Amino acid sequence: MTATLDHPSRTFTAAPTQRRAADTRSGGGSGPARTSPSRTDRVRKGGPDIHIATPQLQLSSKPAALVLRSARLAGPVFRDEVAEQTGLSVSTVNRQVGALLKAGLIRERADLAPAGAIGRPRLPFELNVTDLLTLGIHIGYKVTSITAHDLLHRVVGAIQIETPSGGSPEATLTAIGESATRFLTRWPGRRVLWAGVALGGRVAPGGLVDHPRLGWSAAPVGRVIAQTVGLPVSVASHVEAMAAAELVINPEQKKSSFLYFYAREMVGTAFCVDGMVHTPAAGPPVIGHFPTGPTTLLDPENTGRLEPTASDTGVVAAAQALGLQVDDIEGVHARARSGDATARALLEERAEVLGRTVALIADIFNPDHIVLGGQAFTDFPATLPTVAKALKATSVVPNRDVRVSHSGSTVQQQAAGAVSLDAIYVDPLEALAVTA
């Protein structure tokens, strides 16, 4: 994946209990909303500069990134094996490995040197997962997830907080940033390289976000989070970030195209082709207003729109209108599992509505396969056959390849992690060189 810088930065020195470094990068890729690294502007004057990066969410072809990816996917790995895997020359791999070792992003494994070798030993290398972390923040309509990730994209720690409400966007973001800062004190001896924020709505350069559900217009997400946590920050639309996480987990998908369809409290789509998540300059596709078609139990207000009908809030409202004593979607799930026919019928109808919508969007993009993500699919998998049946009955393509996201119920965490690692994965040496 690649990212371009919107604003410059310098190293931050954290309190003794938490060391943090503000790293940044620039990269290739395309997109009219990106800012060239040579045209960056300072976010604020009279204090430490900060970085706000716009991730492009694609697999990078830079030599250092290819070597780092090999270490992530196949490590511990030998240099000649990396040359074979990446198509780089052995001399190029040697240079990149030397630089990555010096930067501390990888480490050699002398204990795995081949026995009986003559001359300089061949030492495999792997990612440094002991000393380095990134910070992921997924801001949801109701719940915000805060996570720490190692360089393998693994979650090494996570908390959830209620998304603060009632105040200004700046106050909400400051509260989230302060929670994240306290969370990072759990790892006093590790260096935190970057923060990644994923959330709904449209993300403009500079980390400015329009989020209708939260009532935000040009909210300074990047600036406030960067200033609060003292780290460079990348900000991305969450559904696009979820699609990027699928690429991180399975980069072989670079060889195909896929449609990512997300449903939980919000619904959204992203399209990926040739290892790149398409990020329209006008913002992510908006599908919450899509017509649902006829419903029997859902949508008691007769909105006829997808998000009020099939979101968690919409399902709970329909359940309450039918007399079920539930406060949240987990309550509906629990009743369905215990044999409540009305709760089960609600979830089946939700699955049918989502299946029809997925089919219509897939018929427009005609992807090689479809990835379903979000708790609307993963928290009650018993309705997945209904999704598949409705999709097949609606689509003009009789047998589409449909998969459920590898991330499962941690999809929001994985999305934020993908954003937090974006700059490091695309151009790791440049990311760290800025803060040297």
User: What digits encode the pLDDT tens for the residues 228-279?
Assistant: 999 999 999 999 999 999 989 887 777 789 999 999 999 999 999 988 998 8
- Print burial letters for 301-335: b (CB count within 10 Å at least 16), e (below 16): eebebbbbbbbbbbbbbbbeeeebebeebebbbeb
Q: Say which CATH architecture domain 17-25+42-55+130-246+412-424 belongs to.
A: 2-Layer Sandwich (3.30)
Helix axis angle, 79-86 to 63-74, nearest 10°: 110
Label residue 431 by pLDDT band (50, 70, 90): confident
Number of other residues whose CB lies within 10 A of the CB of residue 166 = 6
Angle value at C-alpha 280, between 173 and 257, nearest 5 degrees? 110
* Structural tokens at position 170: 């700046």
Listing DSSP states for 213-258 in one string gives GGTEEEEEHHHHHHHHHTS-EEEEEHHHHHHHHHHHH-GGGGGS-E
Q: What is the mean pLDDT of residues 340-353?
A: 98
* pLDDT tens sequence across 78-114: 999 999 999 999 999 999 999 999 999 999 998 887 7
pLDDT the model gives residue 229: 95
Tokens at 184, concatenated: 């990072």
What element of type H or E holds 7? strand 3-7
**Which of 394, 403, 393 has the alpha carbon at shortest distance from 368?**
403
Q: What is the DSSP letter of 142?
A: S
Are 172 and 401 in contact by the 8 Å Cβ rule? The answer is: no
Sign of the C-alpha dihedral, residues 77, 83, 89, 93?
A: negative
Crossing angle for the helix pair 63-74 and 411-426, to the nearest 10 degrees: 140
The closest of 266, 267, 269 to 257, measured between CA atoms, is 269
Q: Would the CA dihedral through 173, 179, 180, 182 be positive or negative?
A: positive
Two tokens, residue 334: 């629990």
The first and second tokens of residue 119, run together, are 């001359």
Taking the C-alpha atoms of residue 15 and residue 342, their distance in angstroms, rounded to an integer, is 54
Backbone phi, then psi, for 24, in 5-degree steps?
-150, 175
Domain 251-405 sits in CATH 3.40.1010.20: no
Q: Answer whether 197's CB lies under 8 Å from 150's CB.
A: no
pTM of the model: 0.84
67 or 119, which is more confident: 67
CA-to-CA distance for 191 and 19, rounded, in angstroms? 5
Helix (H, G, I), strand (E, B) or coil at 272: strand
pLDDT reported for residue 13: 33
254: β partners: none
192-212 residue pLDDT tens = 999 999 999 899 999 999 998
Radius of gyration over every alpha carbon of the chain, rounded to an integer in angstroms: 23
Do residues 343 and 379 touch, judged by C-beta distance below 8 A? Answer: no
Tell me whether the omega of the peptide bond preceding residue 398 falls within 30 degrees of 0, making it cis. no
pLDDT of residue 40 exceeding 60: no
- The predicted-structure confidence for 298-329, as pLDDT tens digits, reads as follows 999 999 999 999 999 999 999 999 999 999 99
DSSP 409: G
Tokens of 351: 């699955």
- Would you state the pLDDT for residue 121? 56
- In the predicted model, is pLDDT for residue 398 greater than 90? no
* C-beta separation of 383 from 355 below 8 A: no
Whole-number pLDDT of residue 252: 77
Going across the sheet that includes 202-204, the strands are: 202-204, 208-211, 216-220
Contact 395, 387 (CB under 8 A): no
Residue 388 and residue 410 in contact, taking contact as beta carbons nearer than 8 Å: no
DSSP letter at 291 equals: B
Domains of the chain, by residue range, sit at 17-25+42-55+130-246+412-424, 251-405
Write the CA distances from 90 to 67, 189, 414, integer angstroms: 11, 35, 33
Name which of 297, 199, 206, 273 is nearest 239 in CA terms: 199
Neighbouring residues of 102: CB distance < 8 A, sequence distance ≥ 6? none
Residue 77 is given by DSSP the state B
Q: Work out the pLDDT band at 48, boundaries 50, 70, 90.
A: low
- Read off the pLDDT of each residue in 390-415 and give the average, rounded to a whole number: 92
